[in-house]
Amino acid sequence: MKRNWTPKQPGKITQDKAYVNVRLLDPASNFDMVCDSTGGLITRGEKVSEIGPKIFENGISDDIEVIDCLGHCLIPGLVDMRVQVREPGYEHKETIESVGLSATAGGVTTIVCLPNTKPIIADASQVEFLARRARKIGLTKIYPYAALTANLGGKKLTEIGLLAEAGAVAFTDGDKAIENAQVLRRALSYALTFDLLIVQHPEEPSLVPNGGMNAGETATRLGLPGIPREAEIIMIERDIRLVEMTGGKLHFAHISTSESVSVIRKAKEKGLRITCDTAPPYFALNDQTIGEYRTFAKLSPPLRSEDDRKAIIAGLKDGTIDAIASDHSPQDADSKRLPFTQAESGGVGLETLLSVSLDLHHNGNLSLLEVLEKITNRPAELLNLPAGKIEVGSAADLVIFDPDFGWQVKDTDLVSKSKNTPFDLRLVQGIVRRTIIDGRMVYKSEDE
């Protein structure tokens, strides 16, 4: 498989591009149309200019570059709302450039990064740094979360209003839960003034031992201390009460248990401003994946039971779970090549986000448009981002992919600087052929 990256360069795009012989899908507009050589999509400069099944029926002008999509799917660029970039401070695990290479190889044109860098994203200079670096590198677009509390300490709130003005799209303490209920209550009330979103990592810290895996039969067999499912459920139930008290907006990240789905479903039925996402490991894997102490399968939250996995799929199907995020958490080899209890949690996921999510379609759980909605326009809507849809005048952030192409995930083939994928050696279907950002092709993968 040949791969080629061409980072987006500044300057005006002088030639329009026509994408033909393509299946156009856009969940935001609920359209799914197959176009032959007489239809498709035109980009002019950095924007989409025309869409339709017959826009080329009178021929294509000689001054337009024609891109034959070979019957593959053309969709909006993926929007990943939970990524750890690691730069600045932890460049040995990932950098803005390496995350851009990894993202574009996976069809992700927009990412939102957690604030747990060094220094922490807690003032305007850090917010501006990330966007500026991403523009200079010219790969995927990066938007930052800002820290909700000073030093991610869970006690003193940051300057939410000022950070939002600087470009922070929402507020979170990343992979740390806001443990103090009064702090979260104040945050929800204060953020409501600016109509801003708070993102919570739902896990009661006092119930989380060093074991790092789900409490249950597998943990007992392996002799590992387990994290009870109740650690997630208790925090979600508490925080829902705080939303009822304040009227604020709260998003739960990477939910993983059946009770979490049930409780959030009931809260939504009440009309509370609550949303949530999950990540591919929680609908594609279970705690048996850990096998004989596989540290690549040590995640936070941990992989759960088979019943929980099925409940997450049901939550995606009925809309209780709004979005799918990669939860990309790169860890260097030294952090993972340790005894299970000492190894760091987390797995990379940008390059497998689309392919593993497509399992939901291939297995008949969701339609193709329903799957794509969870990784394009819905996360963009949650964070009010100008991304995740195809319409005239929108940014030409596009992905061409073959939904049926089968391949095997291999950690050694990943572009990410870190290789800690829980999906190593998994067979998947669906591969990105081209990634286009602002009308320019930045990634191309074709069979030799």
Active-site residues, by number, are 327
Structure tokens at 417: 């600087």
Residue keyed to tokens 């379609």? 361
Residue keyed to tokens 């050696």? 425
What are the E-state strand segments in 2-86? 2-5, 16-26, 31-44, 47-52, 64-68, 73-76, 78-83
Residue keyed to tokens 């810290």? 205
CA torsion sign for 345, 351, 352, 357 is positive
Three-class SS string for the chain? Answer: CEEEECCCCCCCCCCEEEEEEEEEEECCCCEEEEEEEEEEEEEECCEEEEEECCCCCCCCCCCEEEEECCCCEEEECEEEEEECCCCCCCCCCCCHHHHHHHHHHCCEEEEEECCCCCCCCCCHHHHHHHHHHHHHHCCCEEEECEECEHHHCCCCECCHHHHHHHCCCCEECCCCCCCCHHHHHHHHHHHHHCCCEEEECCCCHHHCCCCCEECCHHHHHHCCCEECCHHHHHHHHHHHHHHHHHCCEEEECCCCCHHHHHHHHHHHHCCCCEEEEECHHHHHCCHHHHCCCCHHHCCCCCCCCHHHHHHHHHHHHCCCCCEECCCECCCCHHHHCCCCCCCCCCECCCCCHHHHHCHHHHCCCCCHHHHHHHHCHHHHHHCCCCCCCCCCCCECCEEEEEEEEEEECCHHHCCCCCCCCCCCCCEEEEEEEEEEECCEEEEEEECC
Helix, coil or strand: residue 258: helix
